[in-house]
Amino acid sequence: MNIKQNYNNEAKIYEFTSRAVIIHFDEALDTFVDNLKIKKKNPIILDVCCGTCILTEKVAKKYPKAKFYGVDFSSEMLKIGQERMKDYDFTPILSDICDKKTMGSIPTVDLIISSFGIHNVHGLDQKQLAVNNIISHLKNGGQFITCDMLKGKNKTEQKLFDKLQKDWLLKTYSVKETNDWIKLLADEDELETLNNNFALLKNAGCQSPQLVWNKDFLAIWTTTK
């Protein structure tokens, strides 16, 4: 399973698949943007795992004077993202979020945003490394806000989440395509419970992570450094 290669191959149809595969995709990202409250006039904002910059653009429409950095390890996703962000001050950074060296060109920022990317990092140690890298680019007092899918707290909750995921896929895909997607997601995604996500942030030096919004197995949470 080469996740980077998969995103490179599928970049051109990501606009479609993101909505067909990720439950409540637009509702979540719009709620995300509604919950951003930046006081600074010209903030510096980093989108981690920005992909094709669907979230970045939504945030840019709210804060058109902001300076944006977008980091992603898929050059094809970033290429589309750069085109989408052409009317804004946007700098793409091609880097794995686990790689401190290539992340090094990113300055300290006022706000870090992220949607549906960190779950692609496998293993708690690697995830901690990624979260540490990300938070090292946040200024003291800055906000980190993220939206992602959650792992169930127990088997019963996970069974419910699996059914919700399947029903969401069946809205767009045939039964065979849905089953193929479920297999792919099981390989690509390593979801965490909300508590584990909070622990990763606290270990990286963040304070009192809070749940902002939750629907089915999707959540938005935030913290400050």
Ligand X SMILES: C[S@@+](CC[C@H](N)C(=O)[O-])C[C@H]1O[C@@H](n2cnc3c(N)ncnc32)[C@H](O)[C@@H]1O
Interface with ligand X by CB under 6 A: which residues?
Answer: 3, 7, 18, 49-51, 54-55, 72-74, 77, 96-98, 115-117, 120-121
Between 49 and 206, name the residue whose CB sits nearer to ligand X: 49
Compute the C-alpha angle 189/1/158, nearest 5°: 25
Between 43 and 70, name the residue whose CB sits nearer to ligand X: 70
Q: Which H or E run contains 67?
A: strand 67-72
What span, in angstroms and rounded, lies between the C-alpha atoms of 3 and 214? 27
Between 117 and 142, name the residue whose CB sits nearer to ligand X: 117
Give me the least distance between CB of 56 and ligand X, in Å please: 8
Give me the least distance between CB of 78 and ligand X, in Å please: 8
Between 121 and 200, name the residue whose CB sits nearer to ligand X: 121
Between 9 and 207, name the residue whose CB sits nearer to ligand X: 9
3-state class of 182 per DSSP?
helix
Give me the least distance between CB of 95 and ligand X, in Å please: 6
Give me the least distance between CB of 121 and ligand X, in Å please: 5
Residue with the closest Cβ to ligand X? 51
For tokens 């200024």, the residue is 139
How do strand 44-48 and strand 67-72 relate by DSSP bridges? Answer: parallel
In 175-224, DSSP assigns E strands to 207-215, 218-224
**Which of 194, 197, 219, 165 is CA-nearest to residue 31?**
219
Give me the least distance between CB of 218 and ligand X, in Å please: 12
For tokens 């962000």, the residue is 85
For tokens 């995709």, the residue is 25
Between 88 and 116, name the residue whose CB sits nearer to ligand X: 116
Measured in whole angstroms, the distance separating CA 164 from the mean position of its chain's CA atoms is: 20
Give me the least distance between CB of 155 and ligand X, in Å please: 26
